[in-house]
Amino acid sequence: MILTALPFGLRHSKDERRVFQQNQVPHSNSRISPFGFRILSARWALGTIAFLIATTFLVAPVFAAEVPTNVTNIFKPLSTPAQAIHEVSLLVLAICAGIFLVVGGLLAYTVVRFRWRPGDEGHEPPQIYGSNQLEFAWTVIPIVTVFVLFLATARTIYDVQGALPPADALNVTVIGHQWWWEIRYPELGIVTANEMHVPVGESSKRRPTFLKLESADVAHSFWVPQLAGKTDVIPNRENRMWIEPIEPGIYVGNCAEYCGMQHAHMLLRVIVHSPGDFEKWTAAQQQPPVDDPQARAGRDVFFTTSCINCHTIKGTKAMGTFGPDLTHLMSRETLGAGTVPNTAEKLRTWVRDPQTIKEGCNMPNMQLTDDELNQIVAYLLTLK
Ligand code: CUA
């Protein structure tokens, strides 16, 4: 029976039809609502709607206030691969919406048109078995639909993943850590954290950024919704992707793969500069760290505690790679991968006990005295 049901739907033998008809249960006389089901109660429905409205308009802004200023909108792509993905997703959405309307419309029509009416007891609708036209239609239409979806998607995947870097592409290595992003520019000798600076692509001169994605610990996922799709960041594996932003600005992204306690505080900013501003940023980052005589005391404390085991300050004996590079710490906008703004006050709280800001992060409370704390913070504030 299963074999004959494919591909043209169910075909019943005469015996099966007889069994089927004998097994028909006559309608009981219980009351049902016109649509065959009962809404639990009007009060329940109103309560649910009120709850949804309240959570949307009252609670959502509370969370929104914590989020970095820029809204990330997957429907407003501003980079070549994101635009390609956006186009194919609109096509998929349109086709699925069409299917939904047809199926939902027919279903709603059937439910209303053929609902139970008084006097229906004992009557059966005409039983129809086997219709070649119908079965052919509902086999061929889905096959064609799936084929169109497959071709459009395969083409986009090929365009995005098969793109080769042009000779002057910017190469950046992104390393996911629990719970921050290390950003390395091997050709420029720059290392930073949680903020990726890239040049904007102009129609006269395209300059895409090609990313190599690596992980230092567990699986993460790199996602800046307006610039490109998600790409997994996996230990012992090198994944690649690229972005080509078409407008200067700040694009907010985040880790999109649950990676432990502070997964939600693994934010990322991509700062897109005009070509001239990008050159300026590059030149500033390539400068050695400032040596301010006023901050020497703090510097000495920094170099005599275990800070240097985890952090690098270029050109000094601090060469740790476990935590973020601090050479130009104060050029960055946030601390703790987007957890708090990078202000003097927050920096002091962070150095005294990072766990109060980002519980579970790998930087311990160093048990510094107030004097040591003040000196270290004074020194860090000079690292512009
Ligand atoms: Cu890294 Cu989630």
d(CA 349, CA 332): 17
pLDDT value of position 45: 61
At 14, the amino acid letter reads K
Ligand 1 atom nearest 176 alpha carbon = 1
Ramachandran angles phi, psi of 175, nearest 5°: -120, 120
- What lies within 8 Å, CB to CB, of 163 at 6+ separation is 81, 208, 242
d(CA 370, CA 36): 72
Taking the centre of ligand 1 as the mean of its atom positions, its distance from the CA of residue 217, in whole angstroms, is 10
* Ligand 1 environment, Cβ below 6 A: 176, 179, 220, 255, 257-259, 263, 266
Residue 338 Cα to ligand 1 midpoint, Å, equals: 13
Please give the helix or strand (H or E) that residue 181 lies within, else none.
Answer: strand 180-185
Angle between helices 344-352 and 370-381 (to 10 degrees): 130
**What's the gap in Å between 231 CA and the centre of ligand 1?**
12
Question: Cα separation of 155 and 161, whole Å?
Answer: 10
What's the rounded Cα separation, in Å, for the pair 382 and 316?
A: 15
Atom of ligand 1 nearest to the CA of 178: 1
* Average pLDDT of the chain, as a whole number: 84
Q: Note if the pTM is more than 0.85.
A: no
Which tens digits make up the pLDDT trace of 54-97? 655 555 544 444 444 556 788 889 999 999 999 999 999 999 99
> Which pLDDT score is estimated for 83?
94
The number of the ligand 1 atom at minimal distance from the alpha carbon of 263 is 2
| Residue 51, pLDDT score | 66
Q: Which residues of 27-41 are buried (b: 16+ CB within 10 A; e: fewer)?
A: eeeeeeeeeeeeeee
- Nearest ligand 1 atom to the CA of 219 is 1
Distances (CA, A) of 300 to 175, 258, 349, 376, 383: 30, 39, 20, 9, 14
d(CA 243, CA 47): 45
Question: What is the structure's pLDDT at 67?
Answer: 44
- Alpha carbons 318 and 315: distance in angstroms, whole number: 8
> What atom of ligand 1 comes closest to residue 264's alpha carbon?
2
Taking 50 as the pLDDT cut, the residues of the chain under it are 1-40, 61-68
Spatial separation of the C-alpha atoms in residues 119 and 6, rounded to whole Å: 38
Tokens of 234: 């996996």
> 336 C-alpha vs ligand 1 centroid, how far in Å?
13
The amino acid at 44? W
Cα of 260 to ligand 1 centre, how many Å?
7
Q: How far from chain centre, in Å, is Cα 51?
A: 27
Give pLDDT, residue 13.
44
Strands annotated E in 200-355 = 209-215, 220-223, 231-233, 239-243, 249-255, 267-273, 334-335, 340-341
pLDDT for residue 52: 66
Q: Residue 218 has what DSSP assignment?
A: S
User: How many A from CA of 184 to the centre of ligand 1?
Assistant: 18
Nearest CA to ligand 1 atom 1: 220
Pair of tokens at residue 321: 């790679």
Q: What is the pLDDT of residues 6-56, one digit of tens each?
A: 333 344 444 444 444 444 444 444 444 444 444 445 666 676 667 666 655
